[in-house]
Structure 1
Amino acid sequence: MLGTAMNLIEPLLRGAGIAMAILLLLVTAARGGWRLRADLLLMLSCVTAYLVCASPARLCGAEPGALPLVLAALAFPFAFWRLASVVLEDDRHVPRVAWAAATAMIVGGLLAGVDYLPVPPHWRVVLGGLSKVMAIGFLGSAGVRAWRSHEGDLIDARRRLRWIVMGALGCYSLVVVMVEIYLQRSAPPPWLDLLNITLIVLALLASAVFLLGVRPQAQEALFEPAALPGKASEPASLPGARVDGDAALVDRLAVLMRDQHLYRDPELSVRRLASALEVPEYVLRRLILARLGHRHFAAFVNDHRLREVTARMSDPALHRRPILTLALEAGFGSIGPFNRAFRERHGMTPSEFRERCVVNSSAGRH
């Protein structure tokens, strides 16, 4: 009797989850600026594909026409990691190693989990293990990024979101991967499949409430593009922002950063800077976000560091000074983050920028 009830409830829950995920997809895509939400659309598509492909009938594993659904379901860990990078850190850069890991995860999972190609059983085990390791890597990396960038996040909605979504959803996804490793290619018990679908549907419902109903302004804050350096956001659109009364604080902050060069400290944090400015941390966060237009503390600090490095690279007297030395002296911890930030700012590498400076300096002397 219980088994019969579970057999009836599971398809209904799965159908409700698929319908809810599709609704979220359509509403998100229909909103203005949907391209900024492309990573959310990707993850919702992966969740929808997973709900379809994880059905007891295993239709995705039997029908070659369902290949797009299989690929989307396998790509969920990468989509989750990508969403964490974009939403929580405003980082749209995908390293080559991430593309390689995503390819290995998807191809390995495809060859191990479906019967399109005659793959020997022992190779299925190896490829399936490789795919799961890559999946764990993406999910774990997303969690690390959520934890690492928590303090520097200046948007309250994102600070709460990282624990609600990235913590709970990320941990649950890791548990699912671990269970799949334990089961290998065996079908899960009916009660476990029902529990999995129930939790996914509840997560989709919570996401729908958060993104579409209760917090529409929060969604705009999450997905609006990062402000250009030097351009402030509109104070009236930010909760807690004050239009007047911040000018003196902005001036004091400029003195600390520009004249005392606090940004040169590689360990500079919101807490340390707020202490130097003699204001509570929430005041400093609001000031940088609402008045200076930076969504993350690291972007604010790196703006000052890049200004110093750019000015020193343009100085003919420092043309022979190594770029790495200039970057470290300005407060960057390593060359990688500096190169990436410099390219995003100037559209060229530091070496290319210096070459132009040398050419312009030589032309000026002649």
Structure 2
Amino acid sequence: MDLSQLDVITRVAGATLLLALGALLAREPRTRRLAVYFAPMALCLAGFLAGNTPDPALRLSGPLSHAGALVAGYAAVCMWWFCLASFDETFRPRGAVLAAGLAWIAIASADRGLLGPAVEGKGLSWLLIALGLSMIAYLAWRLVRDREGDLVEESRRARVLVVALLAGQLLADFLVDLVMGLDWGPPAFTIAQNTALLAFSAWLGLRLLPVSPPLAAPNPVLVPAAPPAAGEEARLAERLRVMVEVERVHLEPDLTFAAFARRMGAPEKTVRAFINHRLGHDHFRAFLNACRVAEARRRLADPAHAGDKLITIALDSGFASLASFNRAFQAVEGRPPSAFRLLRNDPPPSEEPA
């Protein structure tokens, strides 16, 4: 088998696997949220694979070639958003994350001539490299920062692996561009790139199909319906009940998982397994939000709190801000807190925004 055959096989296999996986994720109800981020990434990576060869005879031609080159320019931001969404069920591109993604899309579009020949190929690729390095750093920080509260061992390990694989792939590409130039791409290097993408696609397939617990939508329960009959789980269940119902630890906005585990009186690994297996939460943040939303529901339905503003309800329920309260309440209840209050026939005070 010569290099040209290996080149075609790796590119076709990688693109086919990515697109097929995107279709399968879209069919499964529990992974449709993730498919929203995976499908654009798969399409962009397929476009990258279609043109990532030094042999012009093996590339697409005509409009398909231009379309593939264009969407390939958006692959990095789509991968970035997908990785963030994979480990955070409440993730939506917003704020600085949305701004950085839109900036990448605009710069990549200009660099590929979509905004006219005046700015095409005018060194914008170097700006993309700088932005890409910032995106990698942010992704690594987020995955490592949230790892402590991840309650699923497989997901905790995957966080490190995703950072290593994705950062390694993108950093290698960026460093090659910096050292060797943007047009450097001998056959051995491009085949290695395509093979790495094929391996990454296969790993994603193994991780996502069948749906693994870290990426499946949980069915959270605040406390067990009935504690276990005996043993360590019975002690943990009773201790958790006291912490939630009596000590009300979830009302502390800065509560960390390490502090929570110490107050539970058990090793962190044991507490992770208990909350995940018994209560159905995949992250400590989701558990806290469920407790805090339950408290907010009680306050919103209580006539004694009819005059409270939403920001007061949010802070008194343990949320650090009104924005985080709105997001968590919407995720748990399927509607904003203002709508929940109205349905309870409890109109908000006139100075409170709807």
Is the shorter-chain TM-score for this pair beyond 0.5, marking a shared fold? yes
SS at match of 1:258: helix
Task: Give the Cα–Cα distance (whole angstroms) in 1 for the partners of residues 106 and 214 of structure 2.
Answer: 32
For the residue of structure 2 that corresponds to 1:153, the secondary structure is coil
Are 2:288 and 1:294 aligned?
Answer: no
Distance in 1 between residues matched to 2:184 and 2:218, nearest whole Å: 44
Q: Mark the runs of 5 or more structure 1 residues left unpaired by the alignment.
A: 233-241
Give the superposition deviation at 1:30. 4.5
Q: Which of residues 151, 156, 159 is equivalent to 1:154?
A: 151
State the match for 1:85 in structure 2.
Answer: 84
Give the letter aligned to residue 329 of structure 1. D
Q: Does 1:341 align with 2:328?
A: yes
For 2:213, what is the secondary structure of its paired residue? helix
- Residues 273-288 of structure 1: pairs in structure 2 closer than 5 A: 273-288=260-275
Structure 2 counterpart of 1:315, from 293, 302, 307? 302
2: CA distance, partners of 1:56 / 1:217: 34
Preserved contact between residue 11 and residue 50 of structure 2 (Cα < 8 Å): no
1:150 Cα deviation from its structure 2 partner: 0.6
What pairs up with 1:213-292 in 2 under 5 angstroms? 219-230=211-222, 245=231, 246-292=233-279
Matches within 5 A, 1:1-366: 9=3, 12-13=6-7, 15-26=9-20, 29-30=23-24, 33=28, 35=32, 38=35, 39-57=37-55, 63-95=62-94, 98-99=97-98, 101-114=100-113, 118-121=116-119, 124-125=121-122, 127-128=124-125, 131-177=128-174, 179-180=176-177, 186-190=182-186, 194-195=188-189, 197-202=191-196, 204-205=198-199, 208=202, 211-212=205-206, 219-230=211-222, 245=231, 246-357=233-344, 359=346
How far does residue 91 in structure 1 lie from its aligned partner after superposition? Answer: 2.8
Tell me by how many angstroms 1:154 deviates.
Answer: 1.1
**In the alignment, is the contact (CA less than 8 A) between 1:157 and 1:218 conserved in 2?**
no
Q: CA deviation at 1:285?
A: 0.8
Measure, in 1, the Cα distance between the counterparts of 2:306 and 2:184: 64
1:44/1:351 CA distance change after superposition, 3 Å: same
Aligned-pair CA distance for 1:132: 4.4
Equivalents in 1 of 2:108, 2:21: separation in Å? 31
**Alpha carbon RMSD of aligned pairs, Å?**
3.6
Query: CA–CA distance in 2 between the matches of 1:268 and 1:183?
Result: 48
CA distance in 1: counterparts of 2:309 and 2:33, whole angstroms: 37
| C-alpha distance in 1 between matches for 2:16 and 2:161 | 22
Between the aligned partners of 2:310 and 2:8, the Cα distance in structure 1 is 55
- Note closer, same or farther for the CA distance 1:130–1:318 as it changes in structure 2 (3 Å cut): farther
Shift of 1:49: 2.0
Displacement of 1:162 in angstroms is 1.3
Q: Give the partner amino acid of 2:122.
A: V
Partners of 1:169 and 1:206 in 2: how far apart? 9
Residue 117 of structure 1 and its aligned partner are, at CA, apart by 6.6
1:152 and 1:270 in contact (8 A); partners too: yes
User: Which residue identity is paired with 2:310?
Assistant: I
- The letter for the 2-side match of 1:152 is G
Contact 1:85–1:142 at 8 Å: present in 2 too? Answer: yes
Whether the 8 Å CA contact 1:313–1:319 is kept in 2: the answer is yes
Q: Which has the higher helix share?
A: 1
For 1:350 and 1:161, how far apart are their aligned partners in 2? Answer: 34
CA deviation after TM superposition for structure 1 residue 101, in Å: 4.2
Matching residue's letter, 1:56: P
Task: Flag the 1:11–1:243 CA change in 2: closer, same or farther, 3 A.
Answer: farther
Q: Which residue does the alignment assign to 1:237?
A: none
Could you report, residue by residue, the CA deviation over 1:274-322 in whole angstroms, capped at 9, with x for unpaired residues? Answer: 2111111111111111110111110001111111122123223323333
SS at match of 1:89: coil
- C-alpha separation in 1, matches of 2:242 and 2:12: 54
Moved more, 165-174 or 288-297: 165-174
C-alpha distance after superposition, 1:189-208 (max 9, x if no partner):
52xx6335415514532652
Is contact 1:81-1:141 (8 Å) kept? no
After TM superposition, the structure 1 stretch with the greater mean CA deviation from structure 2, 17-26 or 303-312, is 17-26
Distance 1:28 1:77, change over 3 A: closer
C-alpha distance in 1, partners of 2:241/2:59? 58
CA apart distance, 1:96: 6.7
Q: Counterparts of 1:188 and 1:182 in 2: how far apart (Å)?
A: 10
- Judge conservation of contact 2:10–2:198 (CA < 8 Å) in 1: no
- 8 Å CA contact 1:36, 1:224 repeated in 2: no
Q: Residues 308 and 17 (structure 1 numbering): CA distance in 2 closer, same or farther, change over 3 Å?
A: same
1:227–1:294 contact (8 Å) kept in structure 2: yes
- Contact kept, 8 Å, 1:84 with 1:166, in 2: the verdict is no
- Say if 1:71 and 1:106, in contact at 8 Å, map to a contact too: no
